Structure 1
């Protein structure tokens, strides 16, 4: 996949929809009965990159404070959704250590890598940071796919879609956009902004809600990656 072309196509189509008022809001963000949980392997950006992201988000909040903005603790890249969030999933349904052992066997075969966060793209319901990755990330993903699909462990890898990018969602639309024009102008301002490049030295296995909110996330294991 050519990531630049993919992100650009998504941006062009989605910004046109947003400009025309043809966007979607998420009715479940504030729903206290939302019970969708799963387990995910995630990557966290470093502090410097998060600082740059919050600079953009602070400007967006000034335009429309009612939307949903990710705080630093929630910003992540999905390396792999092992069990996609669904209603009623509980850690009691699985043996967590079996998942840790399986992932550990995969990750020991791979070294650390770098990700660059550069520019913004969008969907009809959210704004995303564009992540550009090395071959290593998708090699890890392919290795995980093979290992899990040959096991008896509960998993839903690739059931929703086959993940190939390294984006990070940072704004979700929770209500009517107050000033679409100003928001689009801000997105254009940051369209090619370099938010930072960071070393991926570790990967987290987490139990999480749909939005990866810190108050719901439970860290199950941290895997270290060899950078040499």
Structure 2
């Protein structure tokens, strides 16, 4: 998959949708009874990159304070959503150590991975930082995990929503009416090619999390060190 072409198409289509007020507001962001939980394997970018992203978000906030902006603590790149968030799921229903063992067995496929965070894109509901892995090991690792989990009897819903091949960071979700769609699209275009930095992936986290990866609702299950 050509990530540049994918991100470009996504931005073009989404900018048009936002301009025409065809964006989607997430009604569950502030819901107290949102019980959607799941299991996710993810990458955390370093604080230096998160701070650069916050500078971008501060520009967005000047135009529209009503939207949902991710704090540094919640920013992440999803490697795989192993159990997609859904109502009624709880950690007591699974044995986390079994999932940890499968991931450990496949870490060999993840080698010398760096991710370049350059530019922004959007969907009709979310603003994202574009991530570009510097080699093919992330998708090789994902594919090996897909095959490994399918061979087990462990509960999993990998790729049930869509097949993940990007390395983006979601940083803003629409939760209210957008104040000025023209200004928003103009600001997004300004940051289309903004360089947010590059980092080496040294560890992964397996977490039990809610839909938005809020720190207060996330439980770290295991930290995996990546061998050089």
Q: TM bucket by the smaller chain?
A: over 0.9
> Gaps spanning 5+ residues in structure 2: where?
none
Q: Secondary structure at the match of 1:131?
A: strand
Could you say what secondary structure the match of 1:207 adopts? strand
Residue-pair matches, total? 227
Q: Which runs of 5+ in 1 are unaligned?
A: none
Aligned residue in 1 for 2:203: 202
- For the Cα contact (< 8 Å) 2:109–2:144, is it kept in 1? no
CA distance in 2, matches of 1:214, 1:186: 28
Question: Counterpart of 1:215 in 2: which secondary structure?
Answer: helix
Q: 1:68 and 1:211 mapped to 2: Cα distance?
A: 10
Query: How far off its partner does 1:108 sit?
Result: 3.8
Aligned to 1:124: 124
Q: What corresponds to 1:136 in structure 2?
A: 137
Give the deviation of 1:112 after TM superposition: 3.8
- Provide the rounded CA distance (Å) in 1 between the counterparts of 2:65 and 2:53: 16
In structure 2, C-alpha distance between the alignment counterparts of 1:38 and 1:110, rounded to whole Å: 23
**Corresponding residue of 2:13:** 13
Give 3-state SS (helix, strand or coil) of 1:147's partner.
helix
Residue deviations 1:62-83 (CA, integer Å, cap 9, x gap): 1100100000110001000000
Within 1, Cα distance between the matches of 2:180 and 2:216? Answer: 30
Deviation at 1:188, TM superposition (A): 0.8
d(CA) in 2 for partners of 1:67 and 1:139? 35
CA distance, structure 2, for counterparts of residue 72 and residue 131 of structure 1: 17
2:56 alignment partner in structure 1: 56
Point out 4+ residue stretches in structure 1 off by more than 3 angstroms.
none
- What is the match of residue 45 of structure 1? 45
Q: Which residue of 1 aligns with 2:148?
A: 147
RMSD of the TM alignment (CA)?
0.8
